[in-house]
């Protein structure tokens, strides 16, 4: 990372609500400290309800996510997958993630832990790790130019703390302690 001044922070979640629930306070803290935050959503969240039809639900969740991002003046980016449709590593998927990282040029990425309960979460985590390094390879051509530095990656705590041993804690309000 460049240091504490004007960093670009990329939160990259599988679904709308993952970033807000699991690292929303941290993203807000980065914004509060003057850093630029981008929130990226891999899937539309279209299958996250028992009754609301997918197309209708995707619209609702996009609206909610954009309103949440606006609170911390974060730009939101949508990768266009449907829930449950990021299946492992493919060159096409990896290029989409490389391009996102090259577009945002983050100093730090917050994303899912490699061990998580949802297949979309673990797929995103794996793709981010592989794409972050590949984003610096100049002869690997995508729409955006290669980065000079590999972004740092922090894994966010999975729901229920599943197999997760944290070594960094973020205190959103230091006056609480
Ligand atoms: Zn999720």
134 CA distance to ligand 1 centroid (A)?
A: 25
- What is the CATH classification number for the domain harbouring 52? 3.40.50.10320
18 CA distance to ligand 1 centroid (A)?
A: 5
Task: Give the domain extent around 32.
Answer: 8-161
- At 91-109, the pLDDT tens digits run 999 999 999 999 999 999 9
User: Is the distance from CB of 151 to CB of 108 less than 8 angstroms?
Assistant: yes
89 CA distance to ligand 1 centroid (A)?
A: 18
* pTM assigned to the model: 0.92
Q: For the residues of 77-110, what is the DSSP string, one character each?
A: EEEEEPTT---S--HHHHHHHHHHHHHH--SEEE
Confirm whether 21 is domain-assigned: yes
171 CA distance to ligand 1 centroid (A)?
A: 23
Distance CA 122, CA 125 (A): 5
- At 68-95, the pLDDT tens digits run 999 999 999 999 999 999 987 799 999 9
Confirm whether 65 is domain-assigned: yes
- At 138-159, the pLDDT tens digits run 999 999 999 999 999 999 998 8
Query: In terms of Cα–Cα distance, which of 1, 83, 79 is closest to 41?
Result: 79
């Amino acid at each position: 990372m460049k240091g504490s001044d004007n960093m670009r922070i990329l939160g990259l979640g599988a679904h709308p609500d993952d970033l807000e629930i699991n690292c929303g306070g941290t993203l807000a803290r980065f914004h509060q400290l003057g850093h630029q935050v981008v929130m990226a959503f891999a899937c539309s969240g279209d299958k996250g309800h028992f009754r609301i039809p997918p197309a209708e639900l995707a619209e609702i969740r996009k609206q909610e996510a954009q309103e949440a991002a606006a609170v911390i003046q974060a730009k939101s980016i949508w990768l266009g997958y449907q829930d449950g449709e990021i299946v492992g590593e493919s060159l096409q998927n990896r290029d989409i993630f490389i391009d996102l990282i090259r577009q945002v040029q983050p100093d730090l990425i917050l994303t899912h832990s490699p061990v998580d309960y949802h297949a979309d979460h673990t797929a995103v985590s794996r793709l981010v790790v592989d794409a972050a390094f590949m984003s610096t390879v100049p002869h690997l051509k995508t729409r955006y130019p290669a980065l000079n530095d590999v972004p740092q990656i922090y894994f966010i705590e999975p729901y229920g703390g599943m197999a997760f041993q944290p070594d960094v804690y973020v205190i959103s309000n230091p006056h609480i302690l």
